[in-house]
């Protein structure tokens, strides 16, 4: 069995198992004396923490930062209940780690501390919503939840990558690189029903940048004060583009989905409410089994009250279906006619072949009318062919 890799050394530093590629954890921030060195170290730190740490590692880091900054004990405890889907955890956790290691961004003109405090404020709001939810009875064994499994897949394959994208946007550079969201969704074959969290995340980030750009929220203006107007504008445009890609993905995914074929009801289920005459003493006849109508190509019925005979031809190879007391899926050529001497024709209908029946009916001079599929308590079900 594979042993779990230690995330931290005993001295508290991140365990850099691939240090020959990533180097050790960036420290000794007090020795940084130029803006260029700070920018380089900040970028290296973002990539380092993105490589070694995940969401669960950042919560204790944020907790330590809040404790050092004198946050209320209740808030320090509440931060541990931040939901896994919170978009602020990753970037806020990385910056908190840098501050815990001695970073001083204000010295070089960056107000990253306000950005961190803004992120913590958002996370506390989200955590308070989780804390107020009623507790679920955990005594019963939990069943595998397909919806939760898919949400976790979306978080790992998309949301975490989007958080990593935000990490690269945390400098004052104007140009940004957007995440290829449509390609990833296609590659992971994410269903449309599971894209809600992605849309919510994109809208949330877009609204925050827009509030800072339009200066409609003092908190966002302060939190993103390190970004210029062109930098904010480009980030808003990139998020708009990703939202449009998401819309296109959903529409093409829906168009490619095969239409659901409705499963036909069982014959007994279709005819259970059918009203018909089971036996006619006047004509010495009994109705055929109504389930024989379902799927038949020809069906003949006779209304004893009005002496009306109706002959139906099925519209397709699947035959007829019955809904309530109505026959459906028959051709427009189906017809009804009034029998002057039913006692002469009815014996032919129940005993002869289809061609012989057709010839006998064609010999009748009675005018034919369009058929309707209504069946009632006066109707004998003569024969299904």
- DSSP-derived secondary structure for 308-357: EEEEEEBSSTT-BEEETTEEESB-TT-EEEE-S-HHHHHHHHHHS-HHHH
* pLDDT given for residue 306 in this prediction: 92
* pLDDT given for residue 1 in this prediction: 34
Pick the closest to residue 169 from 241, 233, 102 (CA basis). 233
Per-residue tokens: 67: 């404790």
The alpha carbon of 36 is separated from its chain's Cα centroid by a whole number of angstroms, namely 45
Which pLDDT tens digits describe the chain residue by residue (385 residues)?
334 467 888 888 888 888 888 889 998 888 889 988 888 888 888 888 888 888 788 889 999 999 999 999 888 898 888 876 676 788 888 899 999 999 988 888 888 888 888 888 888 888 888 777 666 555 555 566 777 788 888 887 788 788 778 777 876 577 888 888 888 888 888 888 888 888 988 998 898 889 889 988 887 787 777 788 898 899 999 999 999 999 888 888 877 776 766 777 888 888 898 999 999 898 888 999 999 999 889 999 999 999 999 999 999 888 898 988 999 999 999 999 999 999 999 999 988 998 999 999 999 888 999 998 999 999 999 999 8
* pLDDT given for residue 140 in this prediction: 57
Per-residue tokens: 316: 């397709």
Pick the closest to residue 320 from 276, 376, 375, 238 (CA basis). 375
Let me know how long the chain is: 385
* pLDDT given for residue 317 in this prediction: 86
* pLDDT given for residue 3 in this prediction: 42
């Amino acid at each position: 069995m594979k042993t779990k890799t230690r995330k931290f050394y005993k001295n508290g530093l991140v365990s850099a198992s691939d240090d020959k590629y990533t180097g050790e954890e960036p420290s000794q921030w007090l020795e940084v004396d130029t803006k260029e060195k700070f920018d380089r170290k900040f970028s290296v730190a973002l990539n380092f923490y993105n490589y070694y740490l995940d969401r669960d590692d950042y919560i204790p880091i944020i907790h330590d930062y809040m404790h050092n900054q004198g946050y209320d004990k209740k808030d320090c405890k509440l931060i541990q209940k931040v939901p896994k889907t919170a978009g602020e955890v990753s970037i806020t956790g990385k910056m908190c780690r840098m501050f815990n290691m001695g970073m001083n961004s204000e010295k070089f003109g960056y107000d990253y501390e306000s950005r961190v405090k803004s992120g913590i404020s958002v996370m506390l709001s989200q955590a308070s919503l989780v804390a107020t939810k009623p507790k679920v009875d955990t005594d019963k064994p939990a069943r595998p939840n397909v919806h939760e499994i898919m949400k976790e897949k979306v978080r790992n394959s998309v949301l975490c990558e989007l958080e990593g994208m935000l990490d690269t946007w945390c400098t004052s550079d104007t140009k940004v690189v957007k995440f290829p969201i449509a390609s990833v969704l296609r590659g992971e074959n994410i269903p449309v029903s599971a894209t809600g969290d992605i849309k919510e995340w994109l809208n949330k980030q877009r609204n925050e940048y827009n509030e800072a750009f339009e200066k409609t929220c003092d908190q966002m203006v302060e939190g993103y004060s390190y970004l210029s107007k062109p930098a904010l504008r480009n980030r808003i445009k990139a998020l708009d583009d990703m939202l449009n890609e998401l819309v296109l993905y959903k529409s093409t995914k829906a168009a490619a989905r095969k239409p659901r074929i409705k499963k036909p009801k069982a014959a007994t289920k279709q005819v259970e409410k059918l009203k018909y005459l089971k036996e006619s003493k006047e004509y010495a006849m009994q109705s055929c089994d109504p389930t024989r109508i379902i799927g038949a190509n020809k069906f003949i019925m006779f209304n004893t009250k009005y002496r009306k005979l109706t002959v139906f031809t099925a519209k397709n190879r699947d035959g007829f279906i019955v809904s309530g007391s109505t026959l459906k899926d028959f051709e427009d050529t189906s017809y009804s006619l009034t029998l002057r001497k039913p006692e002469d024709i009815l014996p032919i209908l129940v005993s002869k072949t289809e061609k012989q029946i057709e010839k006998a009916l064609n010999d009748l001079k009675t005018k034919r009318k369009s058929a309707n599929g209504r069946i009632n308590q006066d109707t004998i079900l003569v024969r299904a062919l």
